[in-house]
Structure 1
Amino acid sequence: MAKYGLIGKDIGYSFSKTFFTLKFEQEKRPDTYRNYDVDNISQLLQIVKSETELKGLNITIPYKEEVIPLLNKVDKVAKEIGAVNTIKILKDGRLVGYNTDHYGFAKALSNYFPFKEKTALILGTGGASKAVAYVLNAMGFTFRFVSRKKSKDSLSYDELNRDILNNHFLIINCTPLGTFPRVHEYPQIPYQFLTSDHLLFDLIYNPRETEFLKRGYAKGARVTNGMKMLEYQAKKAWSIWKS
């Protein structure tokens, strides 16, 4: 029996355990998947040491960047992105980091082409946003990051106006705002300037319809949550663990 799991903080909302448990049942595998809710990513090493049958881990908020120094090796793409969300545990105990978020996002986004223009706003600057930026760059989008504080690399939410939204037709929420149980939170963008030319893509999948998506839909925008991205990246993680 092999063990797998998810490491993050306050991860009761996650569907990863449900996804893999169902997969194992359908394939009649004795494998298990559990959540490891930790206060510090350094606990990863103790988990791996104590769980001798552990073969692979998923990493989620807020540890996708912090986990990298703890790994023995990082895949080329994950290194370029600067974030890891999948770890393969080798037979000798070495930890190899990968990023499957970029694969999941690219595959999910491909269902929504074409866009009026290949322009995007990425809300948030954490590990998930780096995978999104990697994909958008590869697809030929021009994009801007949006953060709570303005910097040389990002706009602030206060700077968003009609002109900016009229020139950016894909808006991706990479923040945890709106995740269960804090479902009434949402990114502070000027929703009144959205049109049917916009797509709002929320990486959040619990709840399936976030306040971010509700507000976009009310203005005629196309909307989608992160469920398909989760499924695609999870399948990719599984292929890495079994390779």
Structure 2
Amino acid sequence: MIKLGLIGKNIDYSFSRVYFNEKFKKETIEGTYSNFDCKSPEEIKELFQKRKDCIGFNVTIPYKQTVVPFLDEMNKHASAIGAVNTIKRQQNGKLKGFNTDYIGFRKSLQPFLNQKNHNHALILGTGGASKAIAYALELEDISYKFVSRTPKKGQFSYNELNGAILSKYTLLINTTPVGTHPNISECPKLPYRVLTKDHLLYDLVYNPAETQFLKNGREQGAKTANGLEMLKLQAEAAWEIWN
């Protein structure tokens, strides 16, 4: 029997558990996919020792960077990104880290891109997910800047964002959990009134399907996309790694 699982914190809402358990049924494969809700990094370390029967794990917020020191090796893309969302237990028992977020994001973004308008992006948030997004943008030859509540050198703060900046940076990607159910009225603090039909807003959040961030953009005529297709594509890429 194949045993897989998701490592995260407060993950009852998990897309992955439903997705992979349905996949087992559809493909008539004997397997289970479980949620491993870890309250601390120490619990993750213990989990790797206790659950040696699991051949693979997904990793979600807030542990995509936390798990890295617990792994024996990482593939080149995960190393370049500095964050992991997929782990494979190899035949020798060693744990190898991968990142399929950048694959899912890149493939799901491409149909929406307009080369004339979308050459500069703002990445909202600086967590583990944001690093995969930055990596994918580099592969697409799109320049970007991070936006943070506590900006480092070379990053924007939310308070700095204005019409002049947003007229240049027309691709806006929310990598934070802001706006996730049940807090559906929340959204990143942006001057949405200056957005236009040339803007593209992409939200990694998929629950609700239209976040307040996306709704605000749509009302200004901007194109919008949520993270559901990215989630499916990264899940399929993880499946290929495990199998």
Fold similarity call, TM over 0.5: yes
Q: Counterpart of 2:85 in structure 1: which amino acid?
A: N
Cα deviation digits, residues 182-221 of structure 1 (max 9, x gap): 2222100111011110110000111111111111111111
Take 2:118 and 2:181, find their aligned partners in 1: how far apart are those partners?
32
Question: Larger deviation: 123-132 or 83-92?
Answer: 83-92
Q: Give the equivalent residue in structure 2 for 1:39.
A: 39
**Contact residue 13 and residue 206 of structure 1 kept, 8 A:** no
1:24 aligns with 2:42: no
Matches within 5 A, 1:1-243: 1-115=1-115, 116-242=117-243
Q: Counterpart of 2:120 in structure 1: which amino acid?
A: T
**Contact residue 7 and residue 37 of structure 1 kept, 8 A:** yes
Cα deviation digits, residues 20-48 of structure 1 (max 9, x gap): 11111101111010111111123223223
Q: Counterpart of 1:104 in structure 2: which amino acid?
A: G
Q: Counterpart of 1:112 in structure 2: which amino acid?
A: F
**Contact residue 176 and residue 204 of structure 1 kept, 8 A:** yes
Pair 195,36 (structure 1): closer, same or farther in 2 beyond 3 Å: same
Runs of 5+ unmatched residues, structure 2 = none
The alpha-carbon deviation at position 177 of structure 1 amounts to 0.3
Runs of 5+ unmatched residues, structure 1 = none
Q: Counterpart of 1:178 in structure 2: which amino acid?
A: G
Q: Counterpart of 1:80 in structure 2: which amino acid?
A: A
The SS at the match of 2:41 is: coil
Q: Which runs of 4+ in 1 moved over 6 A?
A: none
**Contact residue 6 and residue 36 of structure 1 kept, 8 A:** yes
**Contact residue 122 and residue 143 of structure 1 kept, 8 A:** yes
Pair 145,10 (structure 1): closer, same or farther in 2 beyond 3 Å: same
**Contact residue 42 and residue 70 of structure 1 kept, 8 A:** no
Cα deviation digits, residues 121-154 of structure 1 (max 9, x gap): 0000011110110111121111110001232031
The alpha-carbon deviation at position 50 of structure 1 amounts to 2.3
The SS at the match of 2:144 is: strand
Count of aligned pairs between the two proteins: 242
The alpha-carbon deviation at position 105 of structure 1 amounts to 0.5
The SS at the match of 1:54 is: coil
Q: Counterpart of 2:51 in structure 1: which amino acid?
A: E
Take 1:70 and 1:53, find their aligned partners in 2: how far apart are those partners?
17
Take 1:14 and 1:191, find their aligned partners in 2: how far apart are those partners?
30
Question: Larger deviation: 40-49 or 201-210?
Answer: 40-49
Take 1:103 and 1:20, find their aligned partners in 2: how far apart are those partners?
18
TM-score (ref. length: structure 2): 0.96
Q: Counterpart of 1:53 in structure 2: which amino acid?
A: D
The SS at the match of 1:42 is: helix
**Contact residue 8 and residue 60 of structure 1 kept, 8 A:** yes
The SS at the match of 1:83 is: coil
The alpha-carbon deviation at position 93 of structure 1 amounts to 2.0
The SS at the match of 1:33 is: strand
Take 1:153 and 1:38, find their aligned partners in 2: how far apart are those partners?
33
